[in-house]
Amino acid sequence: MKNIHRLALVDPNDATRDALKSMLLSMDIVWLEAECSRYEFFADVVAQTNPDIGIVALDKNPDKALALVARLASESPQCSILVVSSSTDGNLILRAMRSGAKEFLQQPVRLDDLIGAFDRIGAHRFGRGENKQKPCTVIAVAGATGGAGCTSVAVNLGCALARNEQNSVALVDLDMALGDADVFLDAIPDYTLLDVAQNVERLDFALLKRSLTKHSSGLFLLPRPMQMDEATQISADDLQRVIGLLKATFTHLLFDLSKGYTAIDRLAMQTADHVLLVTQLDLPCLRNVVRLMSAFVDTEGLLSKIKIVVNRYGLENGRISLKKAQDTIGKEIFAKLPNDYRTMVEVRNNGVPLLEQAPKAKITQAFLALADSLSGHEAEATTTDEAGLPALSKFFGGLWSKAPAKAEK
């Protein structure tokens, strides 16, 4: 688990508890492990769930609440206590701090105050500077067209990341209708994304891992729903809750997106630290890259996450040069995966990742290099001039006019 705070909340007042719960559920840096409406039961809840932070609302009965804070500080010292109250009485604040509270926030709680409190608690838990642990790295794999090789990239990149014993890696198949990540891993899953989404409120970290399918490489897989009509039963809100639990559980989280760029796909892209846009050096793919980059301007911060990955590089027949492709899309190529059709067909048909089927192949080494470059947040981002995107049409127009007549059809 990396920089995700696991919380337990107690507030006998339903209205204020629901308001605070709603705010917490909107934050991707926390996981609400448990909530309670009785002071008497909360110490047992903390002992059973072992949260990082316990939030205690004082207003219903300040004396009883402060006695609870003192008990938690004594019996569960690993749990940082944050108290909230509508009172501004300095004596109450002093009593709360003497009882063992780490933070005191005033009701109604403001989001920026809550984030600040979590940051201060996190600095103590995770450390600062060089000693600070890194958060979960989230990678979304998107495609410029069908057949570009997104699933093979997602699966083999996930296996490459999982080779490091310090990493725990999960892959979520978001192609709800036609996803086949399970086929690439020759896996027969017991549970799917729908199962986890429908039961996320009752899951803990141990149960979540048992709900995912673990491959021999160490990669955990959460496949798409079994039936096509089940895809509509998963909303973006459902996925947001699943993402929160996955980020709190794994060091690396990968999404294999659909080609529909649905609301769920867009949510995954916004959540991601890196968005790998997989393309090939042909006219249809590059045309779609330009269209997608133009559309991404509307989503704040998304363009800076985009990393162009050229798949099947070296397949030269009728292909566009790398330089022309970069001029066309206005962005440097982040990675090139060499063309190795025979090996890729074998691994796909056998349901075995590259690391097991062909560990010394050039394409396998390319995936290992890609995994190393994405193993943390220090990977250098390639910037894009958002204001200059309309000029891409000039590049694209030139490319179109010089393309062979056969390619225009």
The 10s digit of each residue's pLDDT in 277-286 is: 999 999 999 9
Whole-number Å distance between alpha carbons of 192 and 82: 36
pLDDT at 129: 46
Higher pLDDT, residue 2 or 118: 118
Whether residue 211 contacts residue 219, with contact meaning beta carbons closer than 8 Å, is answered with no
Instruction: Please tell me the least confidently modeled range out of 6-10, 77-81, 248-252.
Output: 248-252
Mean pLDDT over residues 233-260, rounded?
88
Per-residue b or e along 175-213, where b marks 16 or more CB atoms closer than 10 Å to that residue's CB: bbeebebbebbebebebbbbbbbeebeebebeebeebbb
Distances in whole angstroms, Cα of residue 345 to Cα of each of 310, 312, 352, 355, 357: 18, 13, 10, 14, 11
Instruction: Dump the DSSP string for 321-380.
Output: PHHHHHHHHTS-EEEEEE--HHHHHHHHHHT--HHHH-TTSHHHHHHHHHHHHTSSTTSP
Whole-number Å distance between alpha carbons of 367 and 158: 9
pLDDT at 330: 87
Q: Using alpha carbons, select from 109, 120, 98 the residue that is nearest to residue 5.
A: 120
Higher pLDDT, residue 318 or 153: 153
Distances in whole angstroms, Cα of residue 16 to Cα of each of 13, 46, 86: 6, 20, 10
Give the CA angle between residues 58, 63, 64 to the nearest 5°. 80
Whole-number Å distance between alpha carbons of 386 and 369: 28
* Number of alpha helices (DSSP H) and beta strands (DSSP E) in the chain: 18, 13
Query: 101 exposed, middle or buried (CB, 10 Å; 0-12, 13-18, 19+)?
Result: buried
Whole-number Å distance between alpha carbons of 118 and 112: 10
Question: Token digits for 328?
Answer: 């066309």
pLDDT at 133: 52
Whether residue 115 contacts residue 24, with contact meaning beta carbons closer than 8 Å, is answered with no
How sure is the predictor about 304, in pLDDT bands with cuts at 50, 70 and 90? very high
| pLDDT at residue 290 tops 60 | yes
Domains of the chain by start residue, with CATH? 5-131 (3.40.50.2300), 137-404 (3.40.50.300)
Contacts of 131 (CB under 8 A, 6+ apart): none
pLDDT tens for 215-226 read: 999 999 999 999
H runs (alpha helix) in 272-307: 283-296
Helix (H, G, I), strand (E, B) or coil at 7: strand
pLDDT at 183: 93
| pLDDT at residue 177 tops 60 | yes
Beta pairing class for 333-338 and 103-106: unpaired
Whether residue 5 contacts residue 53, with contact meaning beta carbons closer than 8 Å, is answered with yes
| pLDDT at residue 232 tops 90 | no
φ/ψ bin of 304: left (φ > 0), alpha (ψ from -120 to 50), beta (otherwise): alpha
How sure is the predictor about 29, in pLDDT bands with cuts at 50, 70 and 90? confident
CA-based torsion, 243, 244, 249, 254: positive or negative:
positive
Give the CA angle between residues 131, 133, 134 to the nearest 5°. 135
Is the pTM for the entire model greater than 0.75? no
Instruction: Please tell me the least confidently modeled range out of 175-179, 247-251, 318-322, 362-366.
Output: 318-322
pLDDT at 400: 44
Mean pLDDT over residues 297-325, rounded?
87
How sure is the predictor about 316, in pLDDT bands with cuts at 50, 70 and 90? low
Instruction: Please tell me the least confidently modeled range out of 8-22, 122-136, 252-266, 382-396.
Output: 382-396
pLDDT at 382: 39
Higher pLDDT, residue 315 or 337: 337
How sure is the predictor about 89, in pLDDT bands with cuts at 50, 70 and 90? very high
Instruction: Please tell me the least confidently modeled range out of 250-264, 346-360, 393-407.
Output: 393-407
How sure is the predictor about 4, in pLDDT bands with cuts at 50, 70 and 90? confident
Mean pLDDT over residues 33-58, rounded?
94
Which residue is it, tokens 């083999």? 156
